[in-house]
Amino acid sequence: MGVLKRYGAQLPISNKTPDVNLEEGSTPLVRLDRIGNDLGVELWAKLEGCNPSGSFKDRGMVLAVAKALEDGARALVCASTGNTSASAAAYAAHVGVPCYVLLPSGKVAMGKLAQALIYGAKVIAVDGNFDQALELAREAAERLDFAMVNSVNQYRLISQKTGAWEICESLGRAPDLHVIPVGNAGNISAYWAGYKDFRAWRKISGLPRMIGFQAEGAAPLATGRPFPNPETIATAIRIGNPVSGELAKNAVSESGGEFGTVSDDEILEAQVILAGKGGVFAEPASCATLAGLIKLKRANRLPDGAKVVIVLTGNGLKDPDTALSQVGKPVRIGSSIGELLEALSL
Ligand code: AN7
């Protein structure tokens, strides 16, 4: 069941809203005991990479696109570090509207670029970073009366709250810590609003502390200073001027949480641990969550036995180049059993 069907009663849709559905949402919440035991916590991972276009963006995109259709939009436009463009392009193809995506040239993971192109979006590579592409997209949307489907579109964040609702339904309560990567800072803001909804509906009592991790080279919220030239291997969160920064600061301070930073090396180390000890392959930006938890553990700042949810926002298959740079090569053999047995000997 897609998000609009599962949560229609809680979302701003009417009988005039087209029924858009790629069966997004309802993603697995998986307990990672091997990693959790090492950290001394009860660790859960929300596998947002299992969404139809491989990232959490689909949750919000489905409502943004349904509303754009309802309002008679001629086309969709967005700027993106990759996943928003893949998601927008998928939904545009599914409903049959043109889609224009602006990407920072040369800084988008291969899988995401392939997605935007194969779904049939018009892809425009901007000689500049994401923040500059976003400004351009905003102005074009205004001048041409296209629907802007970045998270400045209110429907994106409203519908992304469903991630928090699902977690609360699965656990029967809110986690103690909610740990999430932060780029444009929309998702952390949406999750916080979603947890508060669930409490207001009296379906849970407590609220989590919201912990947002940024890459060291793109950490405006964690450091409080601007990043005009953001740089990180986690290209999804290579963002220097987060659109939802104020909402996110509010989520962190209201919840008693914090922002932290992780280095590219820590992100890559966490990616290997998540895959090798969790069986979960997440893209680098998503791995900032586990990298951050490991950092908190080393600083003795991770409460023993806490129920912790990490949001793995995107699928590892989107960025195979980065993963391959971290691992060894396959063992090559000829076609004889002798060579095989030798290769199999431990
Ligand atoms: C995998 O696609 O901004 O803090 O243009 O792709 O809500 O921005 C992606 C962001 C985390 C950060 N993890 O979420 C885009 C884009 C992944 C992402 C984030 C992104 P926000």
Give me the pLDDT at residue 321, please.
94
* pLDDT score for 203: 87
- For the CA of 85, the closest atom of ligand 1 is 2
Topology of the domain covering 3-55+155-324: Rossmann fold (3.40.50)
81 with 104: CB under 8 angstroms? yes
Q: Say if 3-55+155-324 and 57-153 have the same CATH topology.
A: yes
Q: How far does residue 80's CA lie from ligand 1's centre (Å)? A: 8
Q: How many residues does the chain have?
A: 346
pLDDT at 64: 98
The domain limits of the chain are 3-55+155-324, 57-153
CB-ligand 1 contact for 52 (6 Å cutoff): no
Q: Does domain 57-153 have CATH number 3.40.50.300?
A: no
Atom of ligand 1 nearest to the CA of 183: 4
- Cβ of residue 181 lying under 6 Å from some atom of ligand 1: yes
The tens digit of pLDDT for each residue in 262-313 reads 999 999 999 999 999 999 999 999 999 999 999 999 999 999 999 999 999 9
Kindly give the number of the ligand 1 atom that is closest to the alpha carbon of 243: 8
Sign of the CA dihedral with 8 first, then 13, 16, and 20 last: negative
Q: What is the pLDDT of residue 57?
A: 98
Distance CA 32, CA 10 (A): 30
Residue 237 in contact with ligand 1 by CB distance below 6 A = yes
- Alpha-carbon dihedral sign for residues 229, 234, 239, 245: negative
Long-range CB contacts (within 8 A, 24+) of 173-176: 173/204, 173/205, 173/206, 173/307, 174/198, 174/199, 174/204, 174/206, 174/207, 174/208, 175/44, 175/208, 175/306, 175/307, 175/308, 175/309, 176/208, 176/209, 176/303, 176/306, 176/307, 176/308
Task: Tell whether the model's pLDDT for residue 346 goes beyond 80.
Answer: no
Mutate to test the pocket of ligand 1, among 57, 179, 274, 322 (most ligand atoms within 8 A of CB): 57
Q: Is 314 in the pocket of ligand 1 (CB under 6 A)?
A: yes
